[in-house]
Amino acid sequence: MESQNRADGPKAYTLSQFSRFVASAMSREPVLTGAWVTAEISDLSTSGGHCYMTLIEKDASGATIARMRGTIWANRFYHIRNSFLRDTGKELANGMKVMFYGAANYHSSYGLSFNIGEINPAYTMGDLERLRREILAALQKEGILDRNRNLQLTEPPLKIAVISSEKAAGYGDFINQLNHNPIGIDFNTFLFPATMQGERTAKSVIAALDMIEQTNSIVNWDCVVIIRGGGATTDMNGFDDLQLARRVATYQLPIIVGIGHERDRCVLDEIACIRCKTPTAVATWLSDAAAASWQRACDFASRIALYASERLKGEQIRIQSLSALLPSLAREATTKANARLDSLISTLRMASHARIQNEYPALHAAKATIRMAATGRIEKERSRLDNLEKLIDVLNPLSTLKRGYSITRTGGKAITDTHSLKSGDIIETITSEGRIISTVTETE
């Protein structure tokens, strides 16, 4: 191999010559020509049908300790992508841990890279499952794993707080399905918008849950619905978050989730009060619950009406029977009442006679006492009347006239003052023997 040398210096190679040495050495190492490698995807992009990424490895503290470019050429990318999506239900995405099979490649212009030819979906699924198990184990240790799942839903839940993306197809399907329920029930829904994919998913959903909690004292929500459906499933792992899981598990309102496609599953599916496969399935569940409550109410109403009808019939029969028995019952009651009355009269007579016999000596003594008291009172009153009669006789004007006095009147009134008379007045003088009529000629 040629080299460029300086007369006064060491032997040196050009960069391209050195690159060929590196490439030749790599081709002789079996591990570098084909091996399974585990790494985390970063800086994922596609161009011209090829897939480019950076493969990184982090230590326990999260610091990157290894980094290498990764490439999936177009002739393999379509197969690898579809195979991974079919087995995991997910697209390749940043932050995802994967196991690739490939070979090291060194290019003089682009440097070292890893050319990927195959992917092991089971490793990625195992890593995601491990994360879910760790989150669920943490909730179990805190004693909150089943808290929301054990809450009782209002029957039927009609006031619904919805967490979703306003423009998401899944939200539109949910509202359309809910509004066209078979029995025409009006659901009261309100959307609390949130980011439903990407790194901000967990924080956005938690913020929406906080807002619902703040409005609950005003609206009194029956439940919370978290839905995401349609489109790619690249960022479904945003729902596998410990803080979000803890918030959902301890939430005071029942939570219903319908996240992703039918085959998708996340931590929230394991801890929510109700889990449905899709947003449309959530709307169907709510409609069915309302229809079931309505049917139960109708059944109760029918049973009450039937019971009331049968009870009325029974009472009508009883009244008819009583009507037939009433005359005989009345006669029987009258006979019993008369007999009882006769018995009471007889008892009363006997009791009265016995009481009279017992009280007779006392009555006899009281009679004598009353008679003596009456006689004394009569004598006393007779004496008082005699004294009054004598007093009346003394005060009688006739008695005064008999003693030589007279009464002189004019105009029917007694004269007590001579100044009231004038010459020519007619006066009447009354004595004990008669009257004297006189004419006044002079007064002194």
Torsion of CA 236, 242, 244, 246, to 10 degrees: 140
Mean pLDDT of 360-383: 84
The Cα 334–Cα 323 span in angstroms is: 17
- Residue 4: pLDDT over 70: no
Q: What is the pTM of this model?
A: 0.51
Burial, 369: exposed, middle or buried (Cβ in 10 Å; 0-12, 13-18, 19+)? exposed
Cis peptide before 193 (omega within 30 of 0): no
What's the pLDDT score for residue 122? 78
CA 232 to chain centre: 39
| Helix or strand run (H / E) with residue 120 | none
Q: What is the DSSP letter of 426?
A: E
pLDDT tens per residue, range 165-184:
988 888 999 999 999 988 88
The Cα 70–Cα 55 span in angstroms is: 6
3-state secondary structure of 177: helix
Torsion of CA 345, 346, 348, 353, to 10 degrees: 140
Sequence-ordered strand ranges (E) for 245-396: 255-259, 274-275
| Helix or strand run (H / E) with residue 104 | strand 97-107
Find the length of the chain: 444
Contact 72, 246 (CB under 8 A): no
Share of the chain above pLDDT 90, in %: 35
Q: What is the DSSP letter of 443?
A: -
pLDDT tens per residue, range 308-363:
888 888 888 888 887 777 777 778 888 888 888 888 888 888 887 777 777 777 77
Contact 425, 410 (CB under 8 A): yes
* Sheet strand arrangement including 407-410: 413-414, 407-410, 426-430, 435-439
Backbone angles phi, psi at 15, to 5 degrees: -65, -40
The letter for the amino acid at 148 is N
- Residue 1: pLDDT over 50: no
